[in-house]
Amino acid sequence: MSSTPIPAKVANALWAKAGGRCQFRGCNKLLIGDLISGKKTGKFGYIAHVVADEPGGPRGDTVRSPLLAQDIDNLMLMCPVHHKAIDVDYLADYPEDVLLAMKAEHEDRIEIVTNMDVDRVAHVVRFAANIGQRDSLVTTRAIFSAMPPDHHPAEGRTIDIELIGSERKDHEQAYWTEQNENLERLFARKIKERIEQREIRQLSVFALAPQPLLIRLGTLLGDIVPVSVHQKHREPDTWKWLPDQPRICYQVAEYNGSKKVPVALKLALSAIVNDDRITSLLGQNTAIWSITCEQPGNDIMRRKDDLAAYKKLLRNLFDKIKAHHGEGVMVHVFPAVPASVALETGRVWMPKADLAMKIYDQNRTAQAFVPTILIGGEAGQV
């Protein structure tokens, strides 16, 4: 521990630059106030030296230690656990350059967040539902860290829509009917009412759920308020967009045959969907329109610009399908896409202008696509 007193103005400046939080990478613990003891104004952090204030201390140096003893660029705010970790328990693991990188990352993040104006405030929607046999988990911490610099949370909690624990299985039609009704009810109560009351002016959506439910949520969100949709990446494990990744090369296939045939829309970005899987359900004369890509994969949607490009392609395809086949037609949608794409598929669809959709799901139990949710149409429509 240091023996050099830190001037009050230096200490106050460090607390401000750190946002009152531990600067150890991955900690971010708030060091002001304690709910259990009731000490709302208490300060529970330590000011640690990167280069020790004495030559014999952690990372100390005969010449530099006295020069840097009160230099704010050599000081970090730490919680008790990580102060001891860097100076005692794991000293060898934390050389000067590692600690300075932690300090810079933390202070840059605090500056970015606190510099945001009110127009970037967004309420956060967390949507989770069972995917096969796995419950979807969308952690609040991962969500909030992915929002800057474009947005920051309007409040310290998320708006949760959770569709988990159903006794029915996803190969049963009753499952989709039940989950669709639950989604509509929760959306109306938790989001729609607050939008109508002008409490919510912008949304950031983080979702992991079966694709039919994601598409349905997208149709409910529509364009009633600005919405930013995020994508969970597998590698690296983050919700942040990765703008330096390769661009997706989309391939659009249009149908030019008979108008009086079943209409299918194939959206295959995460995996290849062979046409015979569609015609086996709808018939050999099915009109298949599609958006695919050169190299489909589960982790393909990494760039925000690629998601915007997909939306433009889909909007154009919706218009062409209606122009070719006319009013009153059902579009059978077969999606194999990332979660963000499924959500935006629903948001692109316009209830008063576009054709009705029947959404299919690739079901592991049935080993085939099964019909799930009807959007904008009536039971029995083909």
Provide the pLDDT for residue 138: 66
| Pair (44, 90) in one structural domain | yes
Tokens found for residue 83: 């102060």
Give the three-class secondary structure for 171: coil
Closest CA to 376 of 220, 171, 265: 220
| Pair (125, 203) in one structural domain | yes
In whole angstroms, what is the distance from residue 205 CA to residue 17 CA? 29
φ, ψ dihedrals at 217, nearest 5°: -60, -40
Tokens found for residue 148: 């800057």
Answer with the one of 115, 132, 167 that is the final residue of a domain. 115
In a domain, 61, yes or no: yes
User: What is the reported pTM?
Assistant: 0.75
In whole angstroms, what is the distance from residue 7 CA to residue 41 CA? 20
Looking only at the bridges linking them, the beta strands covering 121-129 and 159-163 are: parallel
Q: Where are the alpha helices (DSSP H) in the chain?
A: 8-17, 64-68, 80-84, 96-115, 140-146, 173-187, 193-196, 211-221, 275-282, 304-325, 339-348
In a domain, 3, yes or no: no
| Pair (108, 135) in one structural domain | no
pLDDT in tens, the chain (382 residues): 577 899 999 999 999 999 999 999 999 999 998 767 767 788 889 999 999 999 999 999 999 999 999 999 999 999 999 999 999 999 999 999 999 999 999 998 888 777 766 678 899 999 988 765 444 556 788 888 899 888 888 888 899 998 877 777 777 889 999 999 999 999 999 999 999 999 999 999 999 999 999 999 999 999 889 999 999 999 899 999 999 999 999 999 999 999 999 999 999 999 999 999 999 999 999 999 999 999 999 999 999 999 999 999 999 999 999 999 999 999 999 999 999 999 999 999 999 999 999 999 998 776 789 999 999 966 545 5
| Pair (318, 337) in one structural domain | yes
| Pair (322, 223) in one structural domain | no
| Pair (154, 204) in one structural domain | yes
In a domain, 1, yes or no: no
How many domains are there within the chain? 3
| Pair (72, 27) in one structural domain | yes
| Pair (27, 97) in one structural domain | yes
List beta partners, residue 121.
Answer: 152
Answer with the one of 172, 196, 229 that is the final residue of a domain. 229
- What b-and-e string marks burial along 280-292, b requiring 16 or more CB atoms within 10 Å of the CB? ebbeeebbbbbbb
Provide the pLDDT for residue 140: 83
Question: Which run of H or E residues covers position 42?
Answer: strand 39-43
In a domain, 223, yes or no: yes
In whole angstroms, what is the distance from residue 240 CA to residue 160 CA? 20
| Pair (298, 364) in one structural domain | yes
Contacts 24+ apart (CB under 8 A), 115-118: 116/148, 116/149, 116/151, 116/152
Answer with the one of 68, 83, 115 that is the final residue of a domain. 115
Q: Are 212 and 134 in contact (CB under 8 A)?
A: no
Provide the pLDDT for residue 35: 61
| Pair (86, 158) in one structural domain | no
In whole angstroms, what is the distance from residue 327 CA to residue 163 CA? 34
Provide the pLDDT for residue 163: 84
User: For 318-354, what is the HEC assignment?
Assistant: HHHHHHHHCCCCEEEEEEECCHHHHHHHHHHCCCCCC
| Pair (123, 74) in one structural domain | no
| Pair (371, 346) in one structural domain | yes
Q: What is the DSSP letter of 190?
A: I
Rounded to whole angstroms, the maximal C-alpha distance in the chain is 87
Provide the pLDDT for residue 135: 46
Q: Are 359 and 349 in contact (CB under 8 A)?
A: no
Q: What is the CA angle 303-25-109, rounded to 5?
A: 55
Name the residue range of residue 271's domain: 250-375
In a domain, 26, yes or no: yes
Q: Are 317 and 276 in contact (CB under 8 A)?
A: no
Provide the pLDDT for residue 170: 74
Closest CA to 163 of 138, 195, 135: 135
Q: What is the DSSP letter of 30?
A: B
Looking only at the bridges linking them, the beta strands covering 75-78 and 46-49 are: antiparallel
Tokens found for residue 158: 């998320």
